[in-house]
Structure 1
């Protein structure tokens, strides 16, 4: 265990439950040890504040886990946090039309750096720091006391020795055959837990996909940009879209999107699936006077192609302006970002500035953040990273 001293100006913030520890919060960062070390945080009077572990993740150097001095960061704590998280997802476990959801959401469920997703009886552990990864055996032991499972897979999403690590190792249970078939609001998705960092569908967009299907797609032409495996396109088609166009730079997006359409009985040949740089496609659409009733934009926070570099924090306004150009009057743009460094007010400002610079008016029809199963700590609002606006062009 390492005892470390918190700077006075951060004391109240941490005492109120703020879980992320950064180097700037410490009086002497040299007090830190190695990844996975248990940290005892004290104030300038050497009085206990909180207890956590060292684990580098983005700008943080560790996570605080308990504000109880006598509580150990060990199996019993893990059992309690996991049990509470599972209890909060009871309705998901009993759902008849959705069997893919988040069971444990990092600091939102009281343990930063770890997420656990459920896919029809199979579980995926994702580790975001070496520190939490080093505790995996105790975590697995705690987990196995609480749930039965078909299989457990694990992915590492952290740097070691300057190298980004992706790991999709099978861990426990029986190896399934892939794809796993999961349900979301009655639709079906093909999921692969054995193909790198991304499994085939982003669970945090569940409510947005349902809104597109149930309220926006019928009779519309739909453009799905940065389309990945076409999940938004699937829900648009299921909602009665006249036609969907899916655009993504990755070659794999074509067979993956065909697979997702086919899983749902949709004629993929009646849809357009294009391997294109989205930014170049926007220019192509403008040049050829192609417009859509509904445009979905969910770009990565940062992306680079041969001719373009995109940062949500810097470039989303211009991306929005391009989308406006190819959206019909009274059409809708689904503007989305998962950039944690872009708060909702800033994101709304991007939208406002884009329309003002185009000399056009707009209306925000719906606002979405993370769905209910992606628990967020009230003391760490940065954890609510997803921002989605349904914007009507007037």
Structure 2
């Protein structure tokens, strides 16, 4: 047996079903487990707590999997976890309306270290943990049985793999290589997604519901979509009758893909302006030009990857939102987001209040945004709640 014995008083989180055991909580390791091995975790009184995946050089030394001592972590266990996660998303896949969803969301689905996204007939996966790397063939086989995709492509080019001693791995795992652009449908809108070279696993399906909700406010309005990527908020805005949309992103590939998606859906090119630029610099240019917008979307990348960076990130969020608010008149709307799990919603509201104060604006919070149900949050793992947003009205 390969056992992990925790220090006295360091077992509370594990008893409460939190999936991470940090290295500092470990008193003793018995049996010399290799990285990626399944280990049994006990408290200081030698009481069973859970089974988990071990790694000696990661800050998260054990990723807990199963809290029932009569279960075996074998191939069938993994297959059942994958089946359960996929079946929980079936309702999201509606022919002609939506063929894209996150199928497995790591710890939230009790499969730590594994992300699986479905894009039409193709599947994109990311592996974060050495233990999951070992059973990758089982994952691929089960996904093939459940969904019969044309191809399964791996995008495991993640910084987190360094901590697990894993090299970057990108490539085809099953079936056909995805074309340069895979056509998908989300909210009844068509997109061309680059699975091989695009950001993350190819697309940000975590904003599916928030795009549709924000678009309810844009009919006949002048819209600014910042950090637009492939045009999720832009296309939803046109779908709901926006008079014009200006889209800004620093990525040339993002702007190219966005333009493709505008044409794909038959929206007016004359009503759309695409700008490749740093967003903060471009917001400053708009202010100097005395431009104003009716609705602004700010969907930046992760500014706070950890709690230690929260103070610096708060300043960055404040400055970004201040610049956005300066471009809105009374009655204007700001849809603003944070994908940093370290930034909770109360802190984000405070940041917006500071931004409004600095901009000389009075604001109201009129809607709160969340990640959708294919990105669930386990009650025992609040860290899984990373995406939050606010719809703000300038008074």
3-state secondary structure, aligned to 2:251: coil
Q: Distance in 1 between matches of 2:73 and 2:165?
A: 28
Q: Is the 8 A contact 1:102 1:373 kept in 2?
A: yes
Paired position in structure 2 for 1:307: none
3-state secondary structure, aligned to 2:376: coil
- 1:193 and 2:191 matched: no
- 1:220 and 2:225 matched: no
Question: In structure 2, do the counterparts of structure 1 residues 31 and 363 end up closer, same or farther at CA, with 3 Å as the change threshold?
Answer: farther
Q: Is the 8 A contact 1:221 1:244 kept in 2?
A: yes
Paired position in structure 2 for 1:174: 176
Q: Distance in 1 between matches of 2:77 and 2:49?
A: 18
Question: In structure 2, do the counterparts of structure 1 residues 57 and 172 end up closer, same or farther at CA, with 3 Å as the change threshold?
Answer: farther
Bigger mean CA deviation after superposition, 132-141 or 238-247: 132-141
Question: 1:1-394, aligned counterparts within 5 Å?
Answer: 2-28=2-28, 33-54=33-54, 60-156=60-156, 157=158, 158-160=160-162, 166-195=168-197, 197-213=199-215, 215-302=216-303, 312-394=313-395
3-state secondary structure, aligned to 2:149: coil
Gaps of 5+ in 1: 304-309
Question: In structure 2, do the counterparts of structure 1 residues 31 and 286 end up closer, same or farther at CA, with 3 Å as the change threshold?
Answer: farther
Q: Is the 8 A contact 2:2 2:29 kept in 1?
A: no
Question: In structure 2, do the counterparts of structure 1 residues 168 and 192 end up closer, same or farther at CA, with 3 Å as the change threshold?
Answer: farther
Bigger mean CA deviation after superposition, 153-162 or 132-141: 153-162
Bigger mean CA deviation after superposition, 248-257 or 311-320: 311-320
Report the Cα offset of residue 104 of structure 1: 1.2
Q: Is the 8 A contact 1:312 1:337 kept in 2?
A: no
TM-score, scaled relative to structure 2: 0.90
3-state secondary structure, aligned to 1:193: coil
3-state secondary structure, aligned to 2:9: helix
Q: Distance in 2 between matches of 1:161 and 1:6?
A: 22
Q: Distance in 2 between matches of 1:285 and 1:56?
A: 51
Report the Cα offset of residue 164 of structure 1: 8.8
Paired position in structure 1 for 2:308: none
Q: Distance in 2 between matches of 1:302 and 1:275?
A: 20
Q: Distance in 1 between matches of 2:266 and 2:121?
A: 24
3-state secondary structure, aligned to 1:240: coil
Q: Is the 8 A contact 2:154 2:172 kept in 1?
A: yes
Q: Distance in 2 between matches of 1:163 and 1:244?
A: 44
3-state secondary structure, aligned to 1:372: coil
Q: Distance in 2 between matches of 1:255 and 1:94?
A: 28
Give CA deviations for 1:210-265 in whole Å, capped at 9, x if unaligned: 1122x111111111112222221111122211111111122223211101111211
Runs of 4+ in 1 over 6 A off after TM superposition: 29-32, 161-164
Report the Cα offset of residue 99 of structure 1: 0.5
Paired position in structure 2 for 1:306: none
Q: Distance in 1 between matches of 2:229 and 2:168?
A: 18
3-state secondary structure, aligned to 1:210: helix
Question: In structure 2, do the counterparts of structure 1 residues 231 and 68 end up closer, same or farther at CA, with 3 Å as the change threshold?
Answer: same
RMSD: 2.5
